[in-house]
Amino acid sequence: MLLKIPNVLNKEQVHQVKQVMLAADWTDGNVTAGYQSSQAKNNLQLPENSHAAIELGDLILATLAKNNMFMSAALPLKIFPPLFNCYQGGGNFGVHVDNAIRQVPGTPVKVRTDVSMTLFISEPDEYEGGELVIEETFGSQKVKLAAGDMILYPSTSLHRVTPVTRGRRLASFFWLQSMISSDEKRSLLFDMDMAIQSLRNKVADSPEIIQLTGVYHNMLRQWAQT
């Protein structure tokens, strides 16, 4: 499932994040890349344990915890702290697949990457290129969203970022381990949850909605790993 989650950050928060990012010290993006992806990666990153990355990561995680669409689509168990990158001057990231397991720096916590997220911090008209291209079963999808919007996609997908030939592309990217490792099952649960919520807005709680809600939770109970 490829899902756009609009307005994860409002414009004021985007502005705040951008100011902190622009004032921070950057490092080569290869510090968090595995061997294969390091051959393909050409961008800048905020150091993982930097004050800026931690402060901004906490802000993003706090807003996501209140985002119903995100919670329903991702069913997160463990979230890797958000990272921040910058592409400019032809910077790009060739085709790769993200590492399956990531250890949270300075902790024994390991996160299996089931879902990948990119949260756009620069507006699309601030740079040329810089599309996130995700290979899906039905072909490749090019993603370039408004600042504050986020794309969520299965970490199993091959993906790349096309060269940024003008301006600067700031973004946050991170991964999570879902209670539902299968993208197929997670999509089913998400569709069902969305349909139930939309039904509930059309008709007041009816016995059928209560029954469907029960089915949703019983499916989650069968499939979830916690």
Shortest distance, position 150 Cβ to Ni ion, whole Å: 15
Q: How many CB atoms lie within 10 A of CB 226?
A: 4
107 Cβ neighbours under 8 A, 6+ residues apart: none
Point out which residues pair with 120 in neighbouring strands: 171
For position 131 contacting Ni ion by CB under 5 A, the verdict is: no
Q: Among residues 13 and 178, whose Cβ is nearest to Ni ion?
A: 178
- Tell me how far the alpha carbon of residue 34 is from its chain's centroid: 19
For position 135 contacting Ni ion by CB under 5 A, the verdict is: no
How many chain residues interact with Ni ion (CB under 5 A)? Answer: 1
Q: Among residues 98 and 135, whose Cβ is nearest to Ni ion?
A: 98
For position 126 contacting Ni ion by CB under 5 A, the verdict is: no
Kind plus residue range of the DSSP H or E element containing 161: strand 159-161
- Name the residue whose CB lies closest to Ni ion: 98
Question: Contact at 8 Å (CB) between 164 and 89?
Answer: yes
95-114: which residues touch Ni ion (CB under 5 A)?
Answer: 98
Shortest distance, position 32 Cβ to Ni ion, whole Å: 10
As a whole number of angstroms, the distance between CA 101 and CA 57 comes to: 19
User: Which residues contribute to the site for Ni ion (CB under 5 A)?
Assistant: 98
